[in-house]
Structure 1
Amino acid sequence: MKHILLIFTLFVGLQMGAQETTGSIVGKMTDKELNDEPLAFANVLIKGTTQGTTSDFDGLYEISGIEPGVYTIVFSYLGYETIEIPNVEVIAEKVTNIDVPMSASSGFELDEVVVTTVARKDSEAALLLDQKKSIEIKTSIGAQELARKGVSDVAAAVTKTTGISKQEGSGNIFVRGLGDRYNVTTMNGLPLPSNNPSKKNIDLNIFSTDIVESIGIDKTYVVRNYGDFAGANIDITSKDYKGDGFLAISIGSGINTEATSVDQFYLNDGPNKSGFYDIIYPASPLSNYNFTTSWDRTEASSPINLDLSLKGGDSFKIGENGLLSIFGVGSYSNDYNYNEGISRGGVNVSGLSRRDYTYNTYKYNTNTTLLGNVGYTTPEHKLLYNALMVNTSSQQQQEYFGVVDAFDYAPEGGAFVQRALFDRTVLIVHQLLGEHSLSDQLEVNWGGAYNFVENDIPNRRQVILTPDDWDEPEGPKSFQQTLNSSDNHRFYQNLEEEEVAANMAITYKFKEDGEEGTFGGKLTLGYSGKFKTVDFEAIQFNFNITQRNPDNSLADQPIIDDIYNVDSYFNQENLNAGLFSIATFRGGLGTPNVLDPQTYDGTQDIHAGFLNLEYAFNPKFTITAGLRGEQINQSIEWSTSLDPSGDKSEFDTFEVLPSLSIKYELNDKQNLRFATSKTYTLPQFKERALFQFEEVTQVYFGNPSLYASTDYNVDVKWELFPKSTELISLGFFGKMIQDPINAVTVNSATNDISYVNSGDQGTAFGAEFELRKNLFERETELEDFFAKENLTLGFNMSYMTSDQDLDSEKVIEETTEAGILPLSVDFSTDSDRLSGASDLLVNGDLSYYKEFKKDKNILATLAYNYFSDRIYALGTEGKGNLVDKGFGTLDFVFRTNFNKHVGLSLTAKNLLNPEIERSQENQDITVLSYKKGQNIKLSLTYNF
């Protein structure tokens, strides 16, 4: 801590350089399209000389020590076309002032200046400037920073910001220790559906950073957002290109060291490498063996990863003031992974693992993304249409060896469990957005979206073979002692989710503050609505092993000589011989409606109105106060193996959600901020549906009696902006959650997990620190060019403590009163930390950049991320919590541009390759372990 204080003291003491006494040019650069906000870090050059500078955070610049004379001044910035102002006279010992407003309008002129394009808003400097000027507490990460850190997907991107971590093996995001249910994901301010019935939010892994201009992370609530929030609203701003025409193609290849370490890579029969595979179950699946895909693993090609992308854009002047812009990107990537380690389940209080396996898993993932948008902009109006399609797939060959159940199922070991899994998601998004400046005082913003997501698990296959004699674990294997009808099965699942959403806001500006076009007050009235339908169905075909013959004698099941050839057993011949039969959860052949799937269907409608006031009492002190009302209706009905006759559940509630943000500018480089709000947290459809999801070592089912939590949030933050790309901030936050929802192990023979309102209250308190610093920066004079070189440091850290009540009696009482599914939970303690909350999160990066000449440069970045231990699931019946052990990752990125056409990049991720572990705390038992491996990739880009 003393070192941090020392660094802080040094930075606060930074002083501006002394002015030259000769003639100089000063001024301010502003962006006409963004209400004349300052344009930071733009280049200013005296044509024909090597004298120049850059604008600071406030858009201000100064060139000193200029010999008297008449010059042409050149203004430029990445994403702008050059602007030249001729005939600028510099007089000895005097200051010449040139303020340069820049605009996309082709009709705008200043002397003989004609602006042809507008600025990109994805740079680190521009986003820091936006953060500085914002009344709300916000954080953003842009395309420029994502490229510098070698980030390839949105899930990895957000973990580079303070207080955010990702659950290993998924795209689940934890913000300040709060997991999926507490967060909201949007694109361009409009909601996105989930691609997984288990989750509220879409898996952020599926979004390639190719489509991203910036990602905004609001960790404090504002009333324009939906109130189902306590962690963060993560908003993906899609590319909106405005500039000269370009076309770029990129190709990359790489390896995962764990995947390449195996002698032979295996996958499933059926799915192809494209990721677009789909299949339905065959006709007459119970009377005959009509399944055409093999149960057995198949040899795959060498596990070499590949990615391809093609992107381009252009903009065109329409009339005197209009600009038409188009942008498109198409990409495909795949990757191979291999994990091996320990997988255990059902650990009891004495430390005995009922399920105890070693395992290996072969994985193959794909991502295909298509994004296109068209925009039309004038000084008063902006229209943007976005279309996005993302297809992702994950294929896994899972193999487990050991004890199925230490009490009564291959208790001495020797069992073999094989699961072949293919999971595919298709996301389609259509958005239309508009911004209209009707006058200096009146603005209208609106947006509408149609989203569709389909998640399929076609033909999941599982087999369990055990020793023919359980007392001889190394002996020959068979299906002789199979205990459960569902042990050997084929499973087909389909989830479809449709969502229509709309936003509209009208802003009236008042209290003109003396400068034309600027106002100290804004009043915004708005409406938000989203209407979602969810349709889920699944059917499982259980291959029931015949234990006894019709005469009640013991059936003689054959020995399986090769565990990787169970096609030799599951076939038409053995079905005819009566060695097994095929049935669904409703029964076997001849049962009425036997092929009716398990289903749950739901609707969720939200209507919301909000009012927001932004008011500047003086240039330093501004508040934003808002009030939002939401009418929420969520209904769900089901027919499943847990409740074949079916039932339904509904809740309807109205939430009143106030928020307040205060900003006080201590000086032109420092802000002090405060925010507080009330929000809520809804249970998800899967958590309320009486449906059973089965994994190899764990079973989950929903609880229809769940209800929403209420959240109270408070934040205080101090910020210092020493330079245009530098930041020091320190913040404190607190949260109180009434009736928090948790995943818990219920009292059952199989230790199933369900979801409950686990207590009266939970709290979380923490501190966040962030530092961005240029360790050195310099410019070298070349012919008509200033070559830049810099070394930058980024560091952020958060520390938090959390606590929640755990009340077994509350759970029993509330689920009994609901009358649907009484649940018994015996928590090991009366209170504990929040699930998913790491006490400590640390991110750091060091980047070196050097230009050798125009369009020739190198960039090298070393990035580190660490999170401490966090609870995966709360302990019950005297058992400890399931805890994900903390670990750190180290990534290296190297990029170079040889010229304006050719670029090369090398990324090496997870260099430390730590052991990933989950353990049961009190019993000190490892329940999951594996290594991810290092990912090495080389990519080549060509810009036409």
Structure 2
Amino acid sequence: MKNFSISKVFFSLTVMLLMVSSAWAQNGKIVGKITDKAFNEPIVGLPVLVKGTSKVTPSNIDGRYELNLAPGTYTLEFKYISFKTKTVSEVVVRAGKVTELNVVMDDAATELGEVVVTSTYKKETVNALYSLQKSNIRVSDGISAEIIKRSPDKNTSEVLKRVSGASIQDNKFVIVRGLADRYNTSLMNNASLPSTESDKRAFNFDIIPSNLIDNIVVNKTASPDLPGDFSGGAVQITTRDFPAEPVFVFTIGSGVNTQSTFKDYRSANTGKLDFLGFLDQSRALPSAYESTRNQYPSLPIAESQQISYAFPNTYGAAKTGTTLPNANMQLSIGNNKTYESGSRFGYIASFSYRTQRDILMRERSDYNLQKIEVIRNDDKLFNYSNNLGGLLNFAYSKGNNKFALKNFYNNTFKNSYVDRVGKISDESNSNNLNNIGSFNDVYQNSLFNSVLEGQHALPKANINIDWNAGFSNTFKDQPDQKIVEAIKPVDSTDPYYVTLSNYNSPAVQNAGRVYSKLNENVFNSNLNLSIPFKLFKQSQKLKFGGSTVNRFRDFRIDALGYASASYAPVKIDLANGVNFDNIFSTQSMQSNNLMLSVISTNSLDYEGKAQTHSGYVMLDTKFSEALRIVWGARLEAFNMDLTPAGKAYLKQTYKQTDILPSANLIYSLNTKSNLRASASQTVNRPEFREIAAYQYFDFETDFNIVGEKNLKIAKVTNADLRYEFYPAAGEIISFSAFYKKFKNPIEQINNGSRVFTFKNAESANDYGVEVELRKKLNFFGDAAFWNNTTFYTNASYIKSDVVLDGSSRQRPLQGQSPYLINTGLQYNNGKLGVNAMFNRVGQRMLYVGTSGGADIYEAPRNVIDFQISHKLLKDNAELRFTAGDLLAQKTKYYYNFGGSTGYQSNEDRVINSIQPGRTFSLSFSYNLPYNK
């Protein structure tokens, strides 16, 4: 019955789409957006006339217009007070097709009479694109939906690594201009997004499917109307709005990995809802523990033992067949309708699902200061993951008003199992032990974002208003992480054994279970008012407004270690039928007198609250046709509290009010080039986890992570200079230089005792240059091949120096790379598309070493991706083949013992090496041809 109901819903939506689109099935449409040249902002209420007819329609609050016309060639007239009249000829309308014509209006000279500017469809289309490229007030780089569609990238993190000056760490965290992920801020539909990570300030971009994105803009300089807590980049993600024509697109695809597909696969315990990406109760804490959780550490030993038996024995793993090819699908529907009253309603809905299994080989080592290997582990990782995403957006506009409700949901699920075989040595390398271990980690990570927004034009008051109110929730449930390790002397014929201490000092890395849950709600509101006016015979604009961001985080973690229920440690041999699968069964626990003890240093619940109240004022001033300066200041009042559960006396509080000035100057050297300069003051604030003083053991790195309660808020002074040249529509050549001065930068450090923590450096300088080129190859000739082929590249060179504890060290900031390179070649003739891409990121410092600990770097690796697509079935379908990571080079982390940050095999030591596989995928997309 449930499936039948879902089928009826999809059938009803299809019928609705057909009905609303039938009104113009025999005609065609001209649609577009009208903006002013000065600010590239929409013009409301401008009449669009079809010459030779009585047809006329006004632009709406978005500056958009729509004309239903019979097939033919038309001339349109755009006429409005304060602007030069513009006529555009050679606009062709085809039956059942949408012709998009965006128009840029020039200011009228006040002392002259009416001035008419004539243009053609082709010229005006190019003009509009130039205007969009040149008019952004900030130094920024972006990627549109069309470019995303033509790339092999399946999620937003992969898309972001194509942006000039950006790279991706751990396949999900964005690094802008070489600065660590903590120096960025993320917004979706102009609403701030929460941190998705429990252990650092970062947003996991791989949870957002790329096919749900309209565009991504990475702002590299600040302006008063942007949040002030970034210095790397402010990443603005916009999801798709209602479309210009009916949409019903279905996509299905599958892929293989050379290292994983059709290989034997092992899984730890699974739940009934894993295939959907949701956790059931099978991995939850037992009710017997939950009911006594607060008293558990002080219960009598016998009672604690009885409760320990209630934990299910789910250690170990079993072969579960072979790894099948990954699979993905997406369904998108949408439409809009314009009513006789002039109002317009539109919607778009999208659903996507992806599932895959991967097998990775990892070599994990550690070294002492004499560069002697003391730990060597060979891991085999089995990863199952799926991604479930949905988008539902509605928009309504009438006259000078528009309202939109945008909703986004995504759920990511991952079940990882690790088989480990290794060797442990003491500092003298004389007492050597072999070790085996297993690790199982399951998590569900979801993001929900909902934004209600409005735009209003008040012509009589000469005021434009826009506002939004948003809610975001991020939820990460990581239940029942299971760790167990066994050892034995090298060359011994004795069995492996597990050593467990007494109940007063359990160690999670020997044998333990960790349960954690993060839930964070974010409430946003923004209000902006802009007042255009004339000064020096030029268009000017005063903009001011305010915003509030309220974050509420609940975090809970239970770290439990298996231990002896007596004062004496216990040694359990893996012999006589005892193995990882049954070592913690009730029978084994009873016979070995075991129990689960709470590891207090690794267990800490806390509540976090953070409020940021902001106000700003900004002047967008034009002194001439060539010179424009956007300047002003933003005031941010920040208040953050972190309270450990049941320990109000340990409450930590941050309060600070900052005035953050900024200025962006744009000088148009000519119609095709700009010179930009900017300066700003921004801040970087600690995240909840960074000040929460509890330890968390990371099995993958073999390090503990602990917070630092005395972190200071960092301040950053930024300066930028950029030259940009647009040879033709869609092409760019740019050169940028930047400088950043940090006071109290926050870094994650390795303290030399196998502990990662956080610390303020005294100061740091960061500076670099960026180059970007996107150019068609038509300078080789006029042949269609050269006109359809585009070469693109962007590269960055970055350098920094840090002052820590009063002494200058010649090392970069944590997370910073000295260079980044993205390049590619793209061919598209409308039918056939080919895209080849190359990416390389220079050595990147992952963790700072102190107290004798060496810095840890990530080595560079070359990545080559390739994609070819072809349209079929009268261009209603597309077949796409993608080859990813063709070189399949290892990801390597190393201790930097040598003087140079680059890897030196005779000095440095690799501590983590992961071998990926090449991926090959095929997808088929079909667009239901309503009007064709």
Distance between the aligned counterparts of 1:560 and 1:407, measured in 2?
Answer: 30
* SS of structure 2 residue aligned to 1:913: coil
* SS of structure 1 residue aligned to 2:690: helix
Q: CA deviation at 1:318?
A: 2.8
Q: Do the aligned partners of residues 665 and 82 (structure 1) sit closer, same or farther apart at CA in structure 2, a change above 3 Å counting?
A: closer
Counterpart code for 1:375: A
* SS of structure 2 residue aligned to 1:567: coil
Give the equivalent residue in structure 2 for 1:628.
634
Q: Do the aligned partners of residues 151 and 79 (structure 1) sit closer, same or farther apart at CA in structure 2, a change above 3 Å counting?
A: farther
- Confirm whether residue 680 of structure 1 aligns to residue 683 of structure 2: yes
Distance between the aligned counterparts of 2:627 and 2:245, measured in 1?
Answer: 41
Give the equivalent residue in structure 2 for 1:93.
none
Q: Do the aligned partners of residues 909 and 83 (structure 1) sit closer, same or farther apart at CA in structure 2, a change above 3 Å counting?
A: closer
Q: Deviations over 1:507-537 (max 9, x none)?
A: 00000787xxxx6110011101100011100
* SS of structure 2 residue aligned to 1:273: helix
- Confirm whether residue 714 of structure 1 aligns to residue 719 of structure 2: yes
Distance between the aligned counterparts of 1:504 and 1:399, measured in 2?
Answer: 53
Q: CA deviation at 1:572?
A: 1.5
Q: How does 1:618-697 map to 2 (within 5 A)?
A: 618-638=624-644, 647-696=650-699, 697=702
* SS of structure 2 residue aligned to 1:34: coil
Q: Deviations over 1:392-414 (max 9, x none)?
A: 01211012222356359995232
Q: CA deviation at 1:267?
A: 4.4
Counterpart code for 1:557: I
Q: CA deviation at 1:200?
A: 2.3
Counterpart code for 1:34: P
Q: How does 1:198-237 map to 2 (within 5 A)?
A: 198-237=199-238
* Alignment: residue pair count: 816
Note if contact 2:480-2:513 (Cα within 8 Å) is conserved in structure 1: yes
Q: Deviations over 1:825-871 (max 9, x none)?
A: xx9x74421111111111111011124xxxxx110100111111111
Q: CA deviation at 1:127?
A: 6.5
- Of 132, 149, 152, the residue aligned with 1:150 is 152
Counterpart code for 2:92: V
Q: Deviations over 1:801-820 (max 9, x none)?
A: 1111121xx6xxxxxxxxxx
Q: CA deviation at 1:380?
A: 1.8
Give the equivalent residue in structure 2 for 1:329.
350
Give the equivalent residue in structure 1 for 2:186.
185
Note if contact 2:186-2:203 (Cα within 8 Å) is conserved in structure 1: yes
Give the equivalent residue in structure 1 for 2:589.
575
Distance between the aligned counterparts of 1:185 and 1:74, measured in 2?
Answer: 41
Note if contact 1:29-1:101 (Cα within 8 Å) is conserved in structure 2: no
Note if contact 1:74-1:83 (Cα within 8 Å) is conserved in structure 2: no
Coordinate RMSD, CA, aligned: 3.7
Distance between the aligned counterparts of 2:133 and 2:782, measured in 1?
Answer: 31
Note if contact 1:127-1:140 (Cα within 8 Å) is conserved in structure 2: no
Give the equivalent residue in structure 2 for 1:746.
751
Q: CA deviation at 1:920?
A: 0.4
Give the equivalent residue in structure 2 for 1:364.
384
Percent same amino acid at aligned positions? Answer: 22
Distance between the aligned counterparts of 2:728 and 2:674, measured in 1?
Answer: 14
- Confirm whether residue 585 of structure 1 aligns to residue 599 of structure 2: yes
Q: Do the aligned partners of residues 613 and 488 (structure 1) sit closer, same or farther apart at CA in structure 2, a change above 3 Å counting?
A: same
Q: Which moved more, 1:722-731 or 1:567-576?
A: 567-576
Q: Deviations over 1:271-306 (max 9, x none)?
A: 722211243211325414223352111333423201
Distance between the aligned counterparts of 1:181 and 1:613, measured in 2?
Answer: 30
Give the equivalent residue in structure 1 for 2:443.
423
Q: Do the aligned partners of residues 284 and 673 (structure 1) sit closer, same or farther apart at CA in structure 2, a change above 3 Å counting?
A: same
Q: CA deviation at 1:262?
A: 3.7
Q: How does 1:232-243 map to 2 (within 5 A)?
A: 232-243=233-244
Distance between the aligned counterparts of 1:176 and 1:511, measured in 2?
Answer: 38
Give the equivalent residue in structure 1 for 2:452.
432
Q: Do the aligned partners of residues 100 and 608 (structure 1) sit closer, same or farther apart at CA in structure 2, a change above 3 Å counting?
A: farther
Note if contact 1:692-1:700 (Cα within 8 Å) is conserved in structure 2: yes
Distance between the aligned counterparts of 2:673 and 2:90, measured in 1?
Answer: 35
Give the equivalent residue in structure 2 for 1:161.
163
Distance between the aligned counterparts of 1:522 and 1:909, measured in 2?
Answer: 47
* SS of structure 2 residue aligned to 1:479: strand
Q: Deviations over 1:324-357 (max 9, x none)?
A: 0100000000122222131124x32111344321
Q: How does 1:337-736 map to 2 (within 5 A)?
A: 337-345=358-366, 347-404=367-424, 406=426, 411-439=431-459, 441-467=462-488, 470-472=489-491, 475-480=494-499, 484-486=506-508, 487-511=510-534, 520-545=539-564, 557-560=572-575, 565-585=579-599, 598-638=604-644, 647-696=650-699, 697-736=702-741
Distance between the aligned counterparts of 2:435 and 2:588, measured in 1?
Answer: 22
Counterpart code for 1:453: T
Counterpart code for 2:586: Q
Q: How does 1:12-27 map to 2 (within 5 A)?
A: none
Q: Do the aligned partners of residues 608 and 77 (structure 1) sit closer, same or farther apart at CA in structure 2, a change above 3 Å counting?
A: farther
Q: Deviations over 1:418-460 (max 9, x none)?
A: 1100011121111001111111731001111011111110111
- Of 746, 757, 762, the residue aligned with 2:760 is 757
Distance between the aligned counterparts of 1:358 and 1:335, measured in 2?
Answer: 23
Q: Do the aligned partners of residues 875 and 447 (structure 1) sit closer, same or farther apart at CA in structure 2, a change above 3 Å counting?
A: same
* SS of structure 1 residue aligned to 2:727: coil
Note if contact 1:738-1:761 (Cα within 8 Å) is conserved in structure 2: yes
Unpaired segments of 5 or more residues in structure 1? 1-27, 50-58, 64-70, 85-95, 103-118, 588-595, 811-826, 852-856
- Confirm whether residue 942 of structure 1 aligns to residue 926 of structure 2: yes
Counterpart code for 1:131: Q
Q: CA deviation at 1:648?
A: 1.8
Counterpart code for 1:839: P
Distance between the aligned counterparts of 2:96 and 2:704, measured in 1?
Answer: 53
Q: CA deviation at 1:80?
A: 3.7
- Confirm whether residue 832 of structure 1 aligns to residue 811 of structure 2: yes
Q: CA deviation at 1:580?
A: 1.4
Give the equivalent residue in structure 1 for 2:286.
282
Q: CA deviation at 1:361?
A: 0.9
Counterpart code for 2:357: Y
Q: Do the aligned partners of residues 859 and 318 (structure 1) sit closer, same or farther apart at CA in structure 2, a change above 3 Å counting?
A: same
Give the equivalent residue in structure 2 for 1:10.
none
- Confirm whether residue 244 of structure 1 aligns to residue 267 of structure 2: no
Q: CA deviation at 1:743?
A: 1.1
* SS of structure 2 residue aligned to 1:573: helix
Q: CA deviation at 1:76?
A: 8.1
Note if contact 2:413-2:445 (Cα within 8 Å) is conserved in structure 1: yes
Give the equivalent residue in structure 2 for 1:890.
864
- Of 133, 138, 141, the residue aligned with 1:139 is 141
Give the equivalent residue in structure 1 for 2:844.
870
* SS of structure 1 residue aligned to 2:651: strand
Unpaired segments of 5 or more residues in structure 2? 1-30, 36-40, 47-58, 74-83, 103-115, 290-303, 898-906
Give the equivalent residue in structure 2 for 1:803.
801
Distance between the aligned counterparts of 1:655 and 1:76, measured in 2?
Answer: 56
- Confirm whether residue 34 of structure 1 aligns to residue 36 of structure 2: no
Counterpart code for 1:717: R
Distance between the aligned counterparts of 2:96 and 2:576, measured in 1?
Answer: 67
Note if contact 1:199-1:684 (Cα within 8 Å) is conserved in structure 2: yes
* SS of structure 2 residue aligned to 1:226: coil
Give the equivalent residue in structure 1 for 2:884.
909
Distance between the aligned counterparts of 2:793 and 2:627, measured in 1?
Answer: 29
Give the equivalent residue in structure 1 for 2:20.
none
Q: Which moved more, 1:383-392 or 1:484-493?
A: 484-493
Q: Do the aligned partners of residues 892 and 676 (structure 1) sit closer, same or farther apart at CA in structure 2, a change above 3 Å counting?
A: same
* SS of structure 1 residue aligned to 2:157: helix
Counterpart code for 1:657: L
Counterpart code for 2:847: A
Counterpart code for 1:584: V
TM-score, with length taken from structure 2: 0.81
Counterpart code for 2:796: S
Q: CA deviation at 1:373?
A: 0.5
Give the equivalent residue in structure 1 for 2:824.
845
